[in-house]
Amino acid sequence: MGFLDVLRGKRALRQPTEDRLFAMSTAVVPMQEQGLQPTGRAAMVFQPLGTSDFSAIVKEMEEVLKLSGEEAGTTISSSDDSFGYRWMVLSDPDFDDLVVGLNAVNGALRDGGYGDRVLAAVFPFRDEQGRQVLFIYNIKRATYYPFVGRPGSEQARDSEEELRLKARFERDLPVEQDLSRWFPLWGAPI
């Protein structure tokens, strides 16, 4: 950002640090030690566009993931939720393959000029009680945060457990410090 940009009131937006997505590859070890088990699935959530260019990028990305997935054992599926977001879900017993696959999805959308359409990467885990615990990577902020729904309640979150998870894993992951940016992802299809 230059001096004239400051005078004109323009600000340079902070670009996300891509390697922060890969922090999950090393954080999974202490998570497992603390009783969180990966489910073998992960998802990239983005808002699709009805343009032929966007559709071509998504189709090509899916084909590349399917071809590389045959070798690595990764499968891919996608679905749209009620909010208009597409969930590209990867399944693989090798956790590192999931992280690499999601990075490929993010990179393809970003390189195609659609990085602003990407919402989050989502890593589901199961805790010792069998509850689903989501670690959500906010692409634009390059930070993670936990999301835990309260059992027996349709749309209530277990904020106490989320704060415990934050405290437990903030040395392992770049955790979002602004709690007002911990957006819930109700009805995640993973």
Over residues 89-146, the pLDDT tens digits come to 999 999 999 999 999 899 989 998 989 999 999 999 999 999 999 999 999 999 999 9
Say whether pLDDT at 76 is over 70: yes
Q: Identify whether 187 is part of a domain.
A: no
pTM equals: 0.86
Task: Give the chain's count of helices (H) and strands (E).
Answer: 5, 7
Q: Identify whether 28 is part of a domain.
A: yes
Instruction: Write out the two tokens for 71.
Output: 């070798």
Q: Identify whether 7 is part of a domain.
A: no
Query: What residues have CB less than 8 Å from 152, skipping those under 6 apart?
Result: none
pLDDT at 132: 95
Domain that holds residue 84: 16-180
Mean pLDDT, rounded, of the chain: 88
Q: Identify whether 53 is part of a domain.
A: yes
Burial of 30: CB neighbours in 10 Å, binned 0-12, 13-18, 19+: middle
Say whether pLDDT at 10 is over 70: no
Q: Identify whether 185 is part of a domain.
A: no
Q: Identify whether 1 is part of a domain.
A: no
Say whether pLDDT at 8 is over 80: no
Q: How many domains does the chain have?
A: 1
pLDDT at 3: 46
